Amino acid sequence: MPERARVSSAHISPSAHYTGYVWYRHQLADTAFVTRFGRFVHGLLSPITWGARMAFDLDIEQLLLQRHLQIDAQLTAAIEQGGVCQVVEIACGLSPRGRRFSLRYPQLRYIEADLPVMAARKRLLLNAEGWLGSQHQVRAVDILAEEGANCLAALFAELDQSKPVVVITEGLVNYFELALVESFWTRLAEQLRAFPQATYLTELYPDLREHPRYRQLRWGVGLIGRLTRGNYPLHYRNDPAIVQGFEKCGFSQVVVFDPSRTSQALGLAPSRSAGLVRVIEARV
């Protein structure tokens, strides 16, 4: 059996509860996105995250907000300046982005996608609030599936391939070893070539060994891995390596953003965990 077939992405979903509560705490999500488990885990971890801020200058919530708001900023620019009218958010979990952007841009077609169990939960949540419709939908997808009803090709077959598209993954790729991630990116780039304009937005935590907070970052991502019952490898050593990696997977234009440098524009206080997360905007 190929290695990809033995790898499960089911361990990712528990982290959605924690981040869902973080978005709510920072006024990025409605109360409908808050789960009892998410509130419980956030409370349970509060002493640890406080200690990490005080002792190590590692602010986990700040890192989450940096990546989330930088992706929001790039998506806003793609819609308002690039004419994008279709968005696919893979591994949507309890992300409130689909709700917020569907409200802000009624003309936008927004498809949220996740593993079947998580997709069903998200669909139930959005349906209960009356938020789903012809423009805002939820679909099942498995990024490791190369064929079948839940593969990437089946997901993108629903889109209008004569119009621009943006694809988002947030809080996903760092759960997998680089070989699996690059396989996903290669298949994604193949799908995006069918569109006249296609942009992929994601985030990475590079293996910045020269960074003064590298040891604290390793501690933090190790904690995240234990909480989500999976490994949490760091990918690439620096920004040029990130660009080269994406180009190898079939993306021709790659821009790497350090959200700590745009904190003020993102509405955030100056970062105490500067330069630990990257947001990538890649086009085919």
**CATH code for the domain in which residue 156 is found:** 3.40.50.150
Average pLDDT, the chain: 88
For residue 4, the model assigns a pLDDT of: 39
Q: How far apart are CA 276 and CA 204, in angstroms?
A: 9
Check: CB of residue 167 under 8 Å from CB of residue 192.
Answer: yes
pLDDT score of 225 more than 90: no
For residue 253, the model assigns a pLDDT of: 97
* Owning domain of residue 165: 3-283
Report the share of the chain in percent with pLDDT over 70.
Answer: 84
* Ramachandran quadrant class, 188 (left: phi over 0; alpha: psi -120 to 50; beta: rest): alpha
Phi, psi values for residue 268, rounded to 5°: -110, 155
pLDDT score of 1 more than 50: no
Helix (H, G, I), strand (E, B) or coil at 13: coil
Structure tokens at 246: 């994406």
Q: Which of 206, 184, 192 is nearest to 280 (CA)?
A: 206
Most confident of 143-152, 201-210, 268-277: 143-152
pLDDT score of 21 more than 90: yes
Q: How many CB atoms lie within 10 A of CB 262?
A: 16
- For the segment 160-184, the average pLDDT, to the nearest whole number, is 94
Residue 212: burial class (beta carbons within 10 Å; 0-12, 13-18, 19+): exposed
The angle at the Cα of 185, spanning 234 to 157, to the nearest 5 degrees, equals: 145
For residue 227, the model assigns a pLDDT of: 57
For residue 46, the model assigns a pLDDT of: 86
Alpha-carbon radius of gyration of the chain: 18
For residue 245, the model assigns a pLDDT of: 97
Q: How far apart are CA 168 and CA 278, in angstroms?
A: 14
Structure tokens at 164: 């621009």
Angle between helices 239-248 and 178-192 (to 10 degrees): 60
* Confidence class for position 9, pLDDT limits 50, 70, 90: very low
- Looking at the structure of the chain, the number of domains it has is 1
pTM here is: 0.90
For residue 211, the model assigns a pLDDT of: 66
What pLDDT, in 10s, does the model give residues 127-141?
999 999 999 999 999
Structure tokens at 183: 């396989």
Q: How far apart are CA 213 and CA 274, in angstroms?
A: 9
- For the segment 238-243, the average pLDDT, to the nearest whole number, is 94
